[in-house]
Each structure stands twice: as structure tokens, then as C-alpha cells.
Amino acid sequence: MTPFRYSRATDVADAIRQSGDCNTRYLGGGTNLVDLMRETVERPEALVDVSGLSRDIEELPDGGLLIGAGVRNTALAEHRSVRTRYPALSRAILAGASAQIRNMATVGGNLLQRTRCAYFYDDDGSRCNKRLPGQGCDALEGFNRNHAILGASPSCVAVHPSDMAVALAALDGVVHLHGARGERSFPVADLHRLPGDRPDVDTLLEPGELITAIELPPLPFAARSTYRKVRDRSSYAFALVSVAALLDVEDGRIRDVRIALGGVAHKPWRAFKAEEVLRGGPPRAAAFTAAADAELADAKPLAGNGFKIELARRTIAAVLGELAGETA
């Protein structure tokens, strides 16, 4: 690990003041950043510890929820309002990592964790455009079973590893940011970029910008939501494919629906095309499969991950079937 300065921020303004230049990183629970620093993939000159800030979950007057960026993953998953009103979010968090890691990891840090692509981690032996722009990508022709089928580029085929972010994208979550130039907010589904020719840039965050909170809008039909994760072993593994979904059925028609996919792209993948196919139609298995097909029409397999297309198709249909009350 290369040497760095450590300081603790007393509040958000103090954190932004201390962030200085772009070679400073904010430190949350450290469960990904400390590991990346030990592997010398990340070499910040300074860490500003924000893990003590923004640790409340606030009920909003409109019926939504404001989740501080410093809230620990366990605290969010066990929160009574999340469990009853946004169960997909509890389910997604509980499907990720281990209990020890969830006790440490913050909500902000979970969103900003980096890909687990093995070539990205291999600072000594592999080429990676995300780690060193212009170097090349060894995953493209390498072991790419875990990699992207949607939205990838010749520069990068890595996937975003978060489960929580997939649920937040489906739940219309909004991310709140503070920076030297003020405050702004946008949908969680827009926070992460597709790789294009700049895979080294994961998100739309400006240097020094800090995630302070995630807002969940009041979505009464989110009480009927879930998260399903398909992985190589039944616990403590990253997703091959995951699906977060909400379904609102009235009088035999789908009034509204939200779907997001994990494990398939450089970002949590909001399945707008599938949602469009479903709205107004019948909540039937054939419609669910047609919606999945519409979303996956542009999917491009690599040598090792073609199975993900069929897996995503079946998982989307199964999750929607489960929410519609069918056996899946």
C-alpha cells in the first residue's frame, strides 16, 4: 500500500473542503477501497474519512425515505420501512457480501465500489483500460464468464458488482450529491456510466463530489417488489445475473412495472424496454418472456458468457411471474 494522509471529516462541508484535488478519496467502510489500495490498484495521496457522516434514515413527509450515505448496509436492510415498503432493497442488500462486510459498508461506498473483474485487480500482470487508460483489455479475449452482455465496449466488458444499486435503480432512487460547486441530484440509474472509450470513469461524479444521501420516492406498489440473484454458490458470491422488479397489477392488467438487472453491464441496468412492453398488458408468462426478449435483443455475448442471455431471460420471466402470484 502506498503511503497516504488520513483525516476525518467533521461534516459534509468539511469533507468537500478537505477533498482538495482528485487524488484524494473519500473513505466509507473501506471494504473495497482498502482492498484496492493493498493491491495498488488505487493509490490515493489522502483519504478523507466520511464514514461518520450522514448516518440517519429519515421518513419524508411525502411518504418517501431519505437514506444518509453513511448508513451501514445492515442498518438499511433491517430498517422496518425498507423491509415492508421497499422489500426489493432489503433483499438485494442481504444477497450481497457477508454479514461482516454489510456491517462495515456504507450506502455511498456500496454505490461507488469498483468492478471485481480479475484483470482490473491484477495490477502486476494484466492489461486493463479501467486501471490504466489505453493499456488494452485482457478480459475481452480472456476469462470473461462473469462479464457484460449489455452496453459493453471494445475498451471494457466489466460489470458493476453491487446488488443494492440494482434495487435502487428499479425503485426510482435519487442520489444527492454535494460538491465545491453546490448540490445536485439525479436518478441512481443515471449515476454509473457505460464504459465507451473511458472505462476508467465509473460514474458522473465530479472530482471531490460527495454522495450525501439516497432518496426513495413514495412508491406504494414497491411493497410488491423483490430481488433475485443467480450465482455460482448460494451465498457470498457476486451475481451472474440478478433482477430487481416491482409489479402493479389491477383488474388483470399491468398498471405499472419497474425492472433492473445486475451482473450484465457496466452499470445497474434499468430495463426500460421490457417495462414498456409490459405496461397495460396482461400479467402472463408469455408477456414476461416477450418483455425479457425485448430488453435482451441488443445483448452481445463474449466467448465465455453467452449463457447469461438465456439466464437473464428466464430470471426476468421468473421474477415477474413470482410477483404476479404465479409459481416460478
Q: Count residues contacting other proteins (CB under 8 A)?
A: 35
Return the range that interacts with other proteins (CB under 8 A); candidates 58-66, 187-195, 233-241, 308-316.
233-241
Amino acid at 43: R
Determine, following the binding rule CB under 8 A, whether residue 219 of this chain makes contact with other proteins.
no
Spell 88-103 as b/e; 16+ CB within 10 A means b. bbbbbbbbbbeeebbe
Determine, following the binding rule CB under 8 A, whether residue 155 of this chain makes contact with other proteins.
no
Q: Which residues contact 23 (CB under 8 A, 6 or more apart)?
A: 44, 45, 46
Answer for which of 22, 60, 99, 132 binds other proteins (CB under 8 A) is 99
Radius of gyration of the chain, Cα coordinates, nearest whole angstrom: 19
Determine, following the binding rule CB under 8 A, whether residue 1 of this chain makes contact with other proteins.
yes
Q: How far is the CB of 302 from other proteins (least distance, A)?
A: 25
Answer for which of 18, 19, 24, 31 binds other proteins (CB under 8 A) is 31
Answer for which of 84, 186, 250, 279 binds other proteins (CB under 8 A) is 84
Give helix 285-296 / helix 307-323 axis angle, nearest 10°: 140
Nearest of 44, 50, 52 to residue 17 by alpha carbon: 50
Residue with Cβ nearer other proteins (77 or 137): 77
Return the range that interacts with other proteins (CB under 8 A); candidates 30-38, 56-64, 174-182, 248-256.
30-38
Q: How far is the CB of 51 from other proteins (least distance, A)?
A: 6
Residue 180's φ and ψ, nearest 5 degrees, are: -60, -30
Distance, in Å, from the CA atom of 323 to the CA atom of 287, rounded to the nearest integer, reads 14
Amino acid at 37: M
Residues of this chain that bind other proteins (CB under 8 A): 1, 3-6, 27, 29-31, 34-35, 38, 47, 49, 51, 74, 77-78, 83-84, 87, 90-91, 94-95, 97-101, 103-104, 234-236
